[in-house]
Amino acid sequence: MSAEGAEVTASREDTGRTESGQPAPRRIRLTPDGGARNRYDPAMPALPDFRVNEIFLSVQGEGVHVGERTVFVRFYGCPLRCVWCDQPEALAHTGVGRFETMTAEAVRDRVASFPAVRRICLTGGEPVIAPKASLAWLLEDRRRAGWWSSVETSGSRVVEELFGAIDFWTVAPKGRSASTFDGDPVAAQLPTLRRYAALPPSRRQFKFVLQGTEDVEDAVRVLDALSYQGDVVIQPEHGAGDGRRIFEAWPWDRYPDARLIPQTHKQSGLR
Ligand code: SF4
């Protein structure tokens, strides 16, 4: 990375031309803290488009920011295949996936169209695999407008340039019930989870979606392996998760400050 940050190249047929007449790649420079330079330069080249499943206004129904009125941008696509994923319409392999291709500017305009709201949450699918230059631009635009941003990620991918661009991270490791990984899910996820655990505790929570006692065991193994400090949320899986069983199985003596929070937006009839 240069002193000015990572340079991201977006190749598009509709970009400018080189002297030889060939389409020129457009370059967006990300600053080390995840910002996007030249963001308001009218000559700024086009950013890569997003694949968006939906954009909607609701309240944050999960985790430590529950109840906060928020605009959600749900991105399409995820490299994982959790068997109980509750967003099949945001996934490619389910047969019901759907997306709209949108420019970063169009997403910003839609997000900004909701009145009297100052919070944006990137969700999915897996939002951190969306074009990072476009994400950085969108988030910097909202930051300049006084907005607070958050993201919901599986924690299976690390995109360093985004750590400075997003205010708060929800990281959701998967246990055995999700059947996401071949072999031990804890061993599979620890390498990337270590990076997320290194974020300041005020800027992240680990949220475990749990079906039963095996998932509780996996969550505790993750926390132990990371010597985790900070907010822990345990959330009964929306289909088969048994809150009482999870409550009784959780090692409260070792992790007394964990919070058991169900998906409250669904209880309220919201998305
Ligand atoms: S990581 Fe999240 S979005 Fe991706 S398949 Fe699993 S539950 Fe669904």
- Write out the chain in H/E/C secondary structure: CECCECEEEECCCCCCECCCCCECCEEEEECCCCCECCCCCCCCCCCCCEEEEEEEEEECCCHHHCCCEEEEEEECCCCCCCCCCCCHHHCCCCCCCCCEEECHHHHHHHHHCCCCCCEEEEECCCHHHCCHHHHHHHHHHHHHCCCEEEEEECCCCCCHHHCCCCCEEEECCCCHHHCCCCCCHHHHHHHHHHHHHCCCHHHEEEEEEECCHHHHHHHHHHHHHHCCCCEEEEEECCCCCCHHHHHHHCCCCCCCCCEECCCHHHHCCCC
By the 10 Å C-beta count (0-12 exposed, 13-18 middle, 19+ buried), 195 is classed as middle
pLDDT of residue 36: 57
- pLDDT: which is higher, 208 or 19: 208
- What is the CA(83)–ligand 1 centre distance, in A? 9
- What is the CA(178)–ligand 1 centre distance, in A? 9
Ligand 1 close to Cβ of residue 216 (< 6 A): no
Ligand 1 close to Cβ of residue 125 (< 6 A): yes
| Ligand 1 pocket test, candidate residues 62, 81, 85, 96, most atoms within 8 A of CB | 85
pLDDT of residue 30: 63
pLDDT digit string, tens, across residues 213-240? 999 999 999 999 999 999 999 999 887 7
pLDDT digit string, tens, across residues 75-116? 999 999 999 999 999 999 999 999 999 999 999 999 999 999
Ligand 1 close to Cβ of residue 80 (< 6 A): yes
Amino acid at 31: T
Ligand 1 close to Cβ of residue 61 (< 6 A): no
Domain ranges of the chain: 193-263
pLDDT digit string, tens, across residues 146-166? 999 999 999 999 999 999 999
- What is the CA(85)–ligand 1 centre distance, in A? 5
By the 10 Å C-beta count (0-12 exposed, 13-18 middle, 19+ buried), 24 is classed as middle
pLDDT of residue 5: 43
**125 touches 88 (CB < 8 A):** no
How many other β-carbons are positioned within 10 Å of the β-carbon of residue 233? 19
pLDDT band at 134 (very low <50, low <70, confident <90, very high): very high
Name the residue with the closest Cα to ligand 1, atom 3: 125
pLDDT of residue 177: 92
Alpha helical stretches, state H, the chain: 104-112, 132-144, 185-197, 213-226, 243-249, 264-267
SS3 of residue 86 by DSSP = coil
The structure's pTM equals 0.84
- What is the CA(202)–ligand 1 centre distance, in A? 24
**136 touches 153 (CB < 8 A):** no
- Specify the ligand 1 atom closest to the Cα of 156: 1
From first CA to last CA, the distance across the chain in angstroms is 40
pLDDT for residue 8 is more than 50:
no
Read off the tokens for 68. Answer: 């906060």
